[in-house]
Structure 1
């Protein structure tokens, strides 16, 4: 009985580091020939060659005309079979792997290639099931509700003309222009961002023009002011990203929120009385406290588990990828202008060092929770992923399929699935610790 491709491949494992292995594969010539013949038959039916019926073109002619495509397809099938073989070896908990070098397959000849594989670290979890944490739910006080009511009074108050100098959170009626050269093909949004007549600016976050709150707090009606706006490197209008733009702003009016009365606030909240509104707030704040308490329990439990586990080696390729993610976070937080970008590049090595510690901590947490998931037989369900995708797509304003495709293209789907599984494990641990 003929062997299938996976059974025909020979694998030898070499160790480079505790979490890094090299998997050497040898595919015998007869297995290469067998797989090539299968691919040739597929091509014979998929292509059309003048003078031959579908599926009847000679192998030599197919190799001559489509040799590179056929070779790539045979290589793909063999490498896929090698991945399957590596996964069948129960001693290898492969996290990620890829082909090393550029092996080239020759038809009907023995084929050798190597996969570099990152292996999950080995460590003991300790007695995490015995952990106990006391829940301490904080009560909602009348004073806290008073403060929240005060916030809502101001938040939902109506704007009215204000006298004197502008204050933070005021709404200013202004006309402004900038020194930025307007491109001929500028979008309406870019034009409005650079020049506008009798429009409104809010002296609060998020700022329409970067720096407008600081520059216009204290401004008076009828006077002109200048703003040196430094746009962040990831600003939505690419033409302004990382740029510094100087504005001249004329203040035409100042409006300030007038706090709502009890009855106005109740009507705004669609309840009959302020007492009903306070009851509604109390329930919402109690839920907030429960959520905070749950998070606190989760972190306490994980901290105890982490403390009981000695340091262990981390897979090098996965660690490098995690460091890169942390580096991108640092860049988003610090690079707001062209000058910031240059400084970031100059200090790149220091930033990499700063990214290493949080990357190691995050990766260590991932492997600890991954091992607990296996021990507790906690698995990710497709329905959980779909539900999270629906919620996220609504939040970010995308169609669900569009958001899913975007995550799959940029590698975000793996991160999403890992987050969902990690949260399941953490909540399972919290449940055990509070029983």
Structure 2
């Protein structure tokens, strides 16, 4: 077999392959055997039909087609290995010449990973928000805890802000009650903004048994985004009473004995949360800086597949679970479809570039993933998917997604290496010491490369690789 590689652009090549006919012998034998099992010829036992009879009855062309289909994947893979290529996705194969008993020629165009020269990243410097905790933030956290222990008492007076009203709702459009526009016994705190716009003004001043009508844009359901006439009937009005902020409240609401201990615990929790946010911000900014240091071309076909995959996942997984379609989602986001598509393309390009450069770093730094690291990552992914670790692991294995998870962990480790070499300062000018940076880097690297396909593939035990899956991508050609 002879093969040659022609570079079409930095991310795409054309393979030209010539195969002497004798190298197709095994595939021809397999073709005759397969056809033998599928057809019946009078006078011959099934499976014992001579090759010449098959040629006469069914045509040599049918045998050649079957043989070529069998041989192409192996021939293509041999040409890829000979050319030392890193293909992405499926090739576009074109048989240019097929001469019986002489020669098979074909071309295969395929996207490849671009060659990336990792730049010196030791000079990267980023600034993140300082993790200062104010007394006001502590007060707010304690107040939120206090809200959870509020009590309600039914009162015989007009409803006012802060009261809890139990209401029945009925939505109409063009005078017709919507099938999904009726709700009964809904508890609503006036002023919380958790229901429809306009309901606060409508129920304020009403007593139990009172009614009002207002117009509002529906936030969900079959008529989401449309203006509807909403009738609200008040069943009861209840006042909310908050517990006193004292040591007795501390003992009721926590494991602590004093209010001061509750405040100190709230301060610690806020500090931990801000530390994590600070680390996440640092990872994202370091990643952006790293990508900005090198030109990373993106294969057009790979980009198209990635955009399509992201859009499919959004519509069929995320939005469908929320009872939304794309049109309703765009209304909620106040975006046009053109703006949405542009943002999706930008995110997909960044995800692919992130994966390319971090994968190159994994190779350069010779980073390996231990079984313990993979297990920890799998546990986190299982938790985020809502599946048990055993269920998630089984689905991942059945879906052939283990290499993808390994790649996610390795890319996280690669980003952690870059962050460790970078200088991170907060808005006060202080150098930030990032704890647990490996786990945070892994999360950021996964998010940037949009690897949600792993979780979704696990949930459905799908067996297709991600659009930007690189070495895990399917590479078998079809005739």
For normalisation by structure 2, the TM-score amounts to 0.64
Alignment-derived partner of residue 304 in structure 2 = 320
1:368 aligns with 2:357: yes
Counterpart mapping for 1:16-27 below 5 A: 16-27=8-19
CA RMSD of aligned residues (A): 5.0
Q: Is the 8 A contact 2:96 2:105 kept in 1?
A: yes
1:113 aligns with 2:100: no
Q: CA deviation at 1:82?
A: 1.4
1:11 aligns with 2:3: yes
CA distance in 2, matches of 1:135, 1:338: 31
* 78 and 217 in structure 1: CA distance in 2 versus 1, 3 angstrom threshold: same
Q: 1:78 aligns with which of 61, 66, 72?
A: 72
CA distance in 1, matches of 2:391, 2:363: 32
Alignment-derived partner of residue 259 in structure 1 = 242
May I ask how many residue pairs the two structures share in their alignment? 403
Alignment-derived partner of residue 274 in structure 2 = 289
Q: CA deviation at 1:34?
A: 1.3
Counterpart mapping for 1:368-407 below 5 A: 368-380=357-369, 384=373, 387-399=376-388
Q: Is the 8 A contact 1:215 1:226 kept in 2?
A: yes
Larger CA deviation: 12-21 vs 94-103: 94-103
CA distance in 2, matches of 1:259, 1:205: 16
Alignment-derived partner of residue 184 in structure 1 = none
Q: Is the 8 A contact 2:358 2:414 kept in 1?
A: yes
CA distance in 2, matches of 1:380, 1:423: 10
CA distance in 2, matches of 1:166, 1:265: 29
- Indicate the SS of the match to 1:378: coil
- Indicate the SS of the match to 1:118: strand
Larger CA deviation: 131-140 vs 375-384: 131-140
1:153 aligns with 2:152: no
Q: CA deviation at 1:56?
A: 5.4
Q: Is the 8 A contact 1:47 1:54 kept in 2?
A: yes
Q: 1:127 aligns with which of 117, 120, 138?
A: 120
Q: Which has the higher contact order (CA 8 A, sep 6+)?
A: 2
- Indicate the SS of the match to 2:196: helix
Q: Is the 8 A contact 1:20 1:316 kept in 2?
A: no
Unaligned stretches of 5+ in structure 1? 1-7, 182-189
- Indicate the SS of the match to 1:217: helix
String of CA shifts for 1:194-241, please: whole Å, max 9, x gaps. 33443435679996xxxx331211213412324545456xx6xxx667
Counterpart mapping for 1:77-96 below 5 A: 78-83=72-77, 85-87=79-81, 89-90=83-84, 92-96=85-89
Q: Is the 8 A contact 1:32 1:108 kept in 2?
A: no
For normalisation by structure 1, the TM-score amounts to 0.69
Unaligned stretches of 5+ in structure 2? 424-432, 434-479
String of CA shifts for 1:279-331, please: whole Å, max 9, x gaps. 4333322322322232243244334434433x343221122334446767998
Q: Is the 8 A contact 1:229 1:247 kept in 2?
A: no
Q: CA deviation at 1:53?
A: 8.2
Counterpart mapping for 1:150-229 below 5 A: 150-161=143-154, 164-165=158-159, 167=161, 171-179=164-172, 193-201=180-188, 212-218=195-201, 219=203, 220-221=206-207, 222-226=210-214, 228-229=216-217
Counterpart mapping for 1:332-343 below 5 A: 335-337=326-328, 340=331
CA distance in 2, matches of 1:73, 1:156: 75
Q: CA deviation at 1:376?
A: 1.0
CA distance in 1, matches of 2:357, 2:107: 29
